[in-house]
Amino acid sequence: MPPPFSVNILFANYGDCTSNSLNHIGAFANELTRRGHACVVGVPEKPETIDRLASPLFPVRLFDDLLGELPHFPNRQPADVVHAWTPRENVRAFAMAYLARHPDARLIIHLEDNEDHLAAAFARRPSTELAELSDAELRDLLPTNLSHPVRSRNLLRIAHGVTHITERLAEFVLTGVPHHLLLPGLEIAPAPTAAEITATKESLELKPGEKLIVYTGSTTFANLADVRTLTLAVRLLNESGQPTRLVRTGLAPAEYAETLNPLGGDFVTELGFLPKADLPRLLAAADVLVQPGAADDFNAYRLPSKVPEFMWAARPLIIPATNIATHLQDGKNALFLTASTPEAIAAKCREVFADDDLAARLAAGAQTFAHAHFDLGQNTAGLLKFYEAALKRPPVFGDAAPTDDETAVLVARQDAALGRRVHELARETSDLKAELAAAKVEAARHAASARYAAAKLQAEKHVTENVRAELSRRTDALLPELTKLRQEATDLRDLTTHNETQHRTTVRQLEDRINALTAKLERVTQSGSWLLTAPFRALRRTLLDPLVKPTASTPTSPTATAEPSTDTNVEVSIDPGLPHCLDEPADWAAVPAAGLMRGWVVASDQQEIVQMRIIAGDHVIAVDHGVPRPDVAGLHPGHPFAAHAGFTADYTLPVGWEGETVFEALTADGQWRRFAARHTRVMSDDPSNVRRDYRAWVQRYDTLKLADAINHRARIEAMSPTQRPVISVLMPVYNSPRPWLVRAIESVREQYYPNWELCIADDASTEPHVAEILRDYAKRDARIKVVSREENGHISAASNSALAIATGEFCALLDHDDELRPHALAEIVYALEAKPELEFIYSDEDKIDEAGHRTDPYFKPDWNPDLLLGQNYTCHLSTFRTERLRAIGGFREGLEGSQDWDLTLRATAGLEATKIHHIAKVLYHWRAIPGSTALVIDQKDDYPFKAAKRALADHLATVGVTAELIPVEGRHWRIKYPLPSPAPRVSVIIPTHNGYELLRTCLDSLRGITAYPAIEVIVVNHQSDDPTILKYFTALQAEGVRVIDYEGVFNFSALNNFAAQHARGAVLAFLNNDLEVIDSAWLTEMVAQACRPGVGAVGAMLYYPNDTVQHAGVILGIGGLNGSPSVAGHAFKDAQRGTDGQRNRLRLVQNYSAVTAACLVIRRAVFEEVGGFDADKLAVAFNDIDFCLRVRAAGYWNVWTPFAELYHHESASRGVEDSPDKLDRFAGEIAVMRQRWARTLDRDPAYNPNLTGLYEDFTLATPPRP
C-alpha cells in the first residue's frame, strides 16, 4: 500500500557512482523507493557509472540536467527534499541553484567527514589560513569536490536539517539547526555458502597456510597513509614467518599506485573496482578485516563505509579506538588499535591468527552489532521521520526572493531577525505598559479587597445587630408567656394535689361500697329463699334465655383504643380525612440519627389543627405546626387553614432503631387523629450513606447559608464595573400557574448578583392572573421588562420576543415554572472574570417539587461535543453571549420541544472549546410537578422527538457531515458515521505470551464474527514456550495471520510500539488476547469513529463474561480508597449489561479523557504523531491512560462508543500485581503519572467533582471535590 505521505527525494553527491558515499546513498535510495517514495541521485559527472551499482531502483542524473526543465520524478514535480551529501563546493553550488529554481524544496545536509581537515590536508595549509583566502584563490587551490571553508558553514546555517554519520560530526551543526544521527543501512544479501567462499580463496591462489586480509574501497589522498601502514604491516607479518596476503579493491590513481606498489611485492593482490554483489564472498573469505588509522582529527569524525560491511560479514575486525569504536567493546566486537603503526597492526593480526576462539567471538560480536545498528529498514524509518519534520518547516528563503547565494539568504534572515527584534522591543515596551496598567489594576484590586472586607464587616455587623435585636424582641415577647406558664404550672400542681386528695377519698368510698355489697351478696346466697329457687333459675337459663335478643355491647372507650399494641403485625389505623404530605426524610428506610421531619397536613372537614405529635416507638417528638405553605394553599383553595398547614420537627433517634413512626393531629373538636405512619430504620451517621441520598447530600453540602450570601455579595462588590456585565434572563410564559410563575420571578429577584434584567415575553396567555402578576412585578422592579405578544406563537417565537428586548451582554434561559439558585448569576460572572472570552456557559441542574424538595441531579461533564449529539446534556442553566445568539438568528420556530438543543448546536458549531465553560454546581431547579416538562416529556406527543431529529440533521448538514440518525432508548440519538471509501486497512495487534485458549477464542471470534472488509491480524509473540501455542502460531501463519516475535522482559508499551512499526494498516487496532468479539459491526463502528477529523483514540464497550460492564470509558483520578493515590478507574464498572447508567450515558457515544488499550482503535498518523506508548517509564500500567492524554493534549478528542461490544476476560493472561518488584514498579508508574498529569487526574473534564472519587458507580462525592 502507498506510504502515509509520498516524497520526491533528490540526493546530491560530490562524486560519481564509484565514490564510497554511493554505498550509503544507494542503500537508502533503494529502500525509500521500495517504500513508495521517488528518488533521484544527482552527480557532477559520469552518470554512466551507475552500472557499478548493484540493482539500483533509482535513476542517476547530471547536476546540469537536473537544473533543466525536463521532469525527473514520476509525478512531474520537483524535489520535496534535497539531501546534499556533504557541503562540498560542487554540491553546494548545485543545491543552491536547484533551490533558486524550486524554492519550496527542503534542504538537508549530510556530514560524513571533518571537511575542514580534508581541505587543510589537501591544501597543506591550516583551516584558519584557508578561511582568509578569496574565492579566486581557493578555486586555484582546492578542487570542487572539497568544501569551501566559509560557504560550507553558511550552507549548514540555512539548512532545514543536518544528518551526520557519527556523533562527533554534530559539533559542526550550528545551534538551532535540527540534526539526526544517520548510521549506514546495509542491504542484506544472502550469506555466501561454504562452496562460494572456497571458490573465492582458490581464485586468489593462496599458498598453503597463508592468511588473508581484505581491504576494500578506493584509495584517495585522505586515506593513502592508512593504506600504506596496512601494507607495511602485512610485509612485517610475512617477514616474521606468518604468510599473509593483502587483497585490495577499489580505484587507485596512478600516483598513489606508484607509492604503494614498491611496498607490497607478491603478497599484495590488487583486484580493482569490484561490483558490490561480489564483495560479500570476498569479505567472508578473509581471516581478518583491518581498518587502519589513527585516532586523529580525521578518523575521529568519520565512519569509513567499509566498516559496516566488515562487521556485517561476520569476520574478526581490527579498527582504531575511535569513531564507531566508542560504541564497541574491545575483545568482544573488535580488537582496538592503540597506535597507528605497522607493528601494532601486525601484533593484533597475530592475536587473531593464534586464537580461533577469539576470532569466532570477534566475528559473532561484530555481526550482532551490525544487525542492531546498521539495519536498513530501521535507519530508513528514522530518516523518513526527519524528512517529515523538515517538510513542516518553512522554505529556505521565507518571504525573500529565491537566490543561488546562501550568503544573501543569511543577510535576508539577519534583516528579518532585526525586524523581529524591533517588534520584540515594541512588544516589550507594550508589555511594560501592560505591567504598569496591571499594577494600577492590582492597586484597584487592593482597593476592591478593602471594599470587600468593609462590605463583609458591615454585613456581619448588620447581621449581628439584627440577631441581637431579634433576640431582645423574642425575650421581651417571651417574658409574659414565661410568667403565664409559671402560673399555669403552679395551678397545675395545685390542681394535681386537689385531684389526688379527691381521688383517694373516692377510692376509699368505693372500697367501702364494695365491701358492703359483698357482705349483702353473701347473706343473700346463704338465705333459704335463694336455695329454694335454684331449680327455677336453671330452667330459665335453659328454656327462656336463648329466646331473648341480645343487647348491644358497650362501645370501647376512646382511651382504650389509644393504647399502643405490642403486636407488631397489627395494622395502624389511619384517618382518611387528613390529606397530607411527608417531605422529609426522603428515605424512611435510611433515616439519619438526627435531623428534621417536615411536611403538611389539613383536615378535609376544614377544622383547625391545634396541636401535633410524632411517636417513634417510645419517643414522642415535639412538633412545630402552623408553618406557612403557600403551595398547599394552591392545592386546597378555599381551605381556611391550608396556607399555614406546614409542620417541622427536630428529632434525635438511636442508631439502629427500627419501628413505626406515627403522625397524629389534634383537631379543634378535641380528637387526636392519626393521619400517617412510616416504617422507619435509623442508619449510622456515616457520610458513605449520604452518597446515595441526594436530599441528605444537599442538606449537608449544598444548602446555602447566611455566610454564603455575605461572601458572594462582598465578592461582587469588590469587582470592578467592567467585570460586572448585565445578564439578561429570557423567560417566555404562557398560562403559567400562579405559584410557579411567582417563584420563577422571585428566584431572579433573589440573586446575589444585582446586574440583571428579566426579559419576559407573554405569549398571549388567556389566564388573567398572568398579566396581573407581570404588571405588578414590572412596577415593583425596574429590572423586569415585559413584552406581550398579540398572538400565541409558541415557545420559540416567545423566546425571540424576549431576546429582542434584551440589552445585556449575556443571556441566560429560564422556563416559566423553574427556579434559579440565588448564586446562579454570580457564578456565571465569576467564570467570566476568569475567562472573559467565553461565549457559552452551562451548569449542573436538578429537579424540584411543589414543596421545594430537590431530587434527580444531573452532574455533567465539561464540554463533551459527542455527548451533545446524543442528548441535550448542557440544558440548564445555559448562558450565551447575546451577540452570538443574534448572529445565529435566535430560536428557530418549528423546533418547539427541542428548541434549546437546536440553539446550543447552532451556537457551538465551529466554536473553540476554550470559549465554552461548565460550572460544576447546581444553579438551576427544573420544576418536577404534574404537567411539567421535567416529568411528562416522555408522555407527550412526540413533537419534541421529531424536532430533535430535525435539529440534529440540520446541524450535521451545517458542519458537512453525512451520517445516519438512529433513535436510542431513552429518547436520545446515535449518530452512525459511514466508513471512508475505500475502507482503510486495519492492523489488529494482539500481544500474547502463551495463553493458547485465550488467544484462540480471541482470534476465532475476531475472524469468524467481525464484518470488516480489510483486516491485517498481527500476533506479537512474547517469548511463548508452550508447544501447543507454538504449533498454533505455525497454523495461523499458514492462514495469513502475521506472527512476529518480540524478545525481552514484558513491556506492554514496547510490544505494541514494535508491532505498530511492522503494521501495514492506516488504522491500528490494539486488542488484548483475552478479548472475545460478540458483535459483527464492532470494528466498523470504531474505525468510522476513528476516521472522523479531530478524533484520536476510540474505545469500546467491554463486558465481563457475566454480562456486567468492565469498561465504558475511563475516569481519571478515581478509586483511591483509604487515602492511596489513584490514576484512573472505569466508568459504570459492574453495571448490568443493558442498563442506562447516569442519564442514559451507557447508551450514548461520548468523549472521555481516556479509554483502555485493551481495545483501542486509532489512525496510524495520530499514533505516530504523539510517539506511541511510553516504553521507557510506563512499561505495564497506565501506558494507555498516558497515551490518551497525550493524544488529547495534541488537540484530538478521544471517543467511547457503546456500539462496539466485546467480552473481556480481564488480565487473564497477565495475572495480578502481587510480588514486591511488581508493586515497586506499579508505584513508580503511579508516580510518573502524577508527575505528568496531576492536574488532569485530580479534575477529569469528562467527569464531575460532585461525583465520587472513590467508587466507579457515579454516586455522590462526600464531600464534593474541588
What would the pLDDT profile of 672-702 be if each residue is shown by its tens digit? 999 999 999 887 655 556 677 888 889 889 9
Computed on alpha carbons and rounded to an integer, the radius of gyration of the chain in Å comes to: 46
Place of cell 477464542: 1001
8-181 under CATH 3.40.50.2000, yes or no: yes
Q: How many CB atoms lie within 10 A of CB 78?
A: 19
Query: DSSP E strands: which ranges in 539-605?
Result: 580-584, 594-601
Question: Which residues lie below 8 Å from residue 1024, measured CB to CB, with a gap of 6+?
Answer: 992, 993, 994, 1030, 1033
Distance CA 290, CA 346 (A): 10
Distance CA 540, CA 241 (A): 160
Q: What is the DSSP string of 1000-1063?
A: HHHHHHHHHH---S-EEEEEEEES---HHHHHHHHHHHHTT-EEEEE-SS--HHHHHHHHHHH-
Residue 57 binned pLDDT confidence (cut-offs 50, 70, 90): very high
Sort strands 756-762 and 840-848 into parallel, antiparallel or unpaired.
unpaired
Distances 175 to 867, 1032, 1131 between C-alpha atoms, Å: 47, 54, 48
Place of cell 569524525: 301
Q: What is the mean pLDDT of residues 592-612?
A: 91
Q: Which of 1183, 1180, 1071, 1185 is nearest to 1128 (CA)?
A: 1185
pLDDT 10s digits, 823-832? 999 999 999 9
Element (H, E) at 687: helix 687-690
Cα-flanking dihedrals φ and ψ of residue 1216, to 5°? -105, 160
Q: What is the mean pLDDT of residues 629-649?
A: 88
Residue 789 confidence (pLDDT): 95
Q: Which of 1171, 1153, 1178 is nearest to 1235 (CA)?
A: 1178
**Best-predicted range by mean pLDDT (341-350, 453-462, 1125-1134):** 341-350
> Residue 1014 has which C-alpha cell?
480489510
Question: Which residues lie below 8 Å from residue 1040, measured CB to CB, with a gap of 6+?
Answer: 1017
Residue 546 confidence (pLDDT): 46
Distance CA 914, CA 923 (A): 21
Cα-flanking dihedrals φ and ψ of residue 1145, to 5°? -70, -20
Domain boundary assignment for the chain: 8-181, 194-367, 570-683, 719-938, 986-1209+1218-1242
Question: Which residues lie below 8 Å from residue 1173, measured CB to CB, with a gap of 6+?
Answer: 1052, 1053, 1054, 1056, 1057, 1157, 1183, 1184, 1186, 1187
Q: Which of 811, 923, 951, 807 is nearest to 860 (CA)?
A: 923
pLDDT 10s digits, 777-815? 999 999 999 999 999 999 999 999 999 999 999 999 999
CB 238 within 8 Å of CB 349: no
DSSP 1265: P
Share of the chain above pLDDT 70, in %: 84
DSSP 571: P
Q: What is the mean pLDDT of residues 582-607?
A: 85
Partners of 810 in the beta sheet? 727, 881
The end-to-end CA distance of the chain, in Å, is 51
Given its phi and psi angles, is residue 626 left (phi above 0), alpha (psi -120 to 50 degrees) or beta?
left
CB 752 within 8 Å of CB 709: yes
Distance CA 1145, CA 1246 (A): 12
Residue 565 binned pLDDT confidence (cut-offs 50, 70, 90): very low
On the question of pLDDT at 936 being above 60, the answer is: no
> Residue 49 has which C-alpha cell?
557509472
Q: What is the mean pLDDT of residues 87-115?
A: 93
Distance CA 1185, CA 1174 (A): 10
Distance CA 760, CA 806 (A): 10
CB 855 within 8 Å of CB 695: yes
Residue 1210 confidence (pLDDT): 67
Q: Which of 1171, 1166, 1228 is nearest to 1198 (CA)?
A: 1166
On the question of pLDDT at 1262 being above 60, the answer is: yes
Q: How many CB atoms lie within 10 A of CB 166?
A: 23
In a 13 Å sphere around the CA of 867, the CA atoms on its Cβ side amount to: 21
Q: Looking at domain 570-683, which of 2.60.40.10, 3.30.930.10, 3.40.30.10, 3.20.20.10 is its CATH number? A: 2.60.40.10
Domains 8-181 and 570-683 share a fold: no
> Residue 277 has which C-alpha cell?
554483489
On the question of pLDDT at 540 being above 70, the answer is: no
Distance CA 1066, CA 1168 (A): 11
Distance CA 801, CA 788 (A): 9
> Residue 1083 has which C-alpha cell?
470494528
Sort strands 1114-1116 and 1128-1130 into parallel, antiparallel or unpaired.
antiparallel
Distance CA 660, CA 565 (A): 12
| Architecture field, domain 986-1209+1218-1242 | Alpha-Beta Complex (3.90)
936 vs 428, more confident: 428
Distance CA 65, CA 97 (A): 12
Going 1152 to 1155 to 1161 to 1166, the CA torsion angle's sign is positive
On the question of pLDDT at 426 being above 80, the answer is: no
Distances 1157 to 255, 1018, 1227 between C-alpha atoms, Å: 66, 16, 20
Q: What share of the chain is helix, strand, coil (3-state, %, to 5)?
A: 45, 20, 35
Cα-flanking dihedrals φ and ψ of residue 1034, to 5°? -60, -45
Sort strands 1042-1046 and 1095-1103 into parallel, antiparallel or unpaired.
unpaired
Distances 293 to 117, 212, 339, 889 between C-alpha atoms, Å: 15, 19, 8, 81
CB 219 within 8 Å of CB 250: yes
Q: What is the mean pLDDT of residues 667-671?
A: 93
683 vs 123, more confident: 123
pLDDT 10s digits, 1045-1063? 999 888 999 999 999 999 9
> Residue 514 has which C-alpha cell?
364494695
Q: Which CATH superfamily is domain 719-938 in?
A: Spore Coat Polysaccharide Biosynthesis Protein SpsA; Chain A (3.90.550.10)
592 vs 163, more confident: 163
Mean pLDDT score across all residues of the chain: 85
Instruction: State the pTM of this model.
Output: 0.53
Q: What is the mean pLDDT of residues 101-115?
A: 93
Distance CA 373, CA 743 (A): 77
> Residue 1088 has which C-alpha cell?
468510522
Distance CA 1189, CA 1193 (A): 6
Sort strands 1042-1046 and 288-290 into parallel, antiparallel or unpaired.
unpaired
Given its phi and psi angles, is residue 140 left (phi above 0), alpha (psi -120 to 50 degrees) or beta?
alpha
Task: Residue count of the chain, please give it.
Answer: 1266
Element (H, E) at 381: helix 376-391
Question: Which residues lie below 8 Å from residue 169, measured CB to CB, with a gap of 6+?
Answer: 111, 112, 114, 301
Distance CA 1035, CA 1028 (A): 11
On the question of pLDDT at 489 being above 90, the answer is: no
Residue 532 confidence (pLDDT): 55
CB 407 within 8 Å of CB 211: no
Place of cell 430504620: 681
CB 738 within 8 Å of CB 768: no
Distance CA 762, CA 756 (A): 19
Distance CA 623, CA 822 (A): 29
Cα-flanking dihedrals φ and ψ of residue 421, to 5°? -65, -40
Residue 427 confidence (pLDDT): 75
Q: Which CATH superfamily is domain 194-367 in?
A: Glycogen Phosphorylase B; (3.40.50.2000)
Element (H, E) at 160: none
Residue 1043 confidence (pLDDT): 96
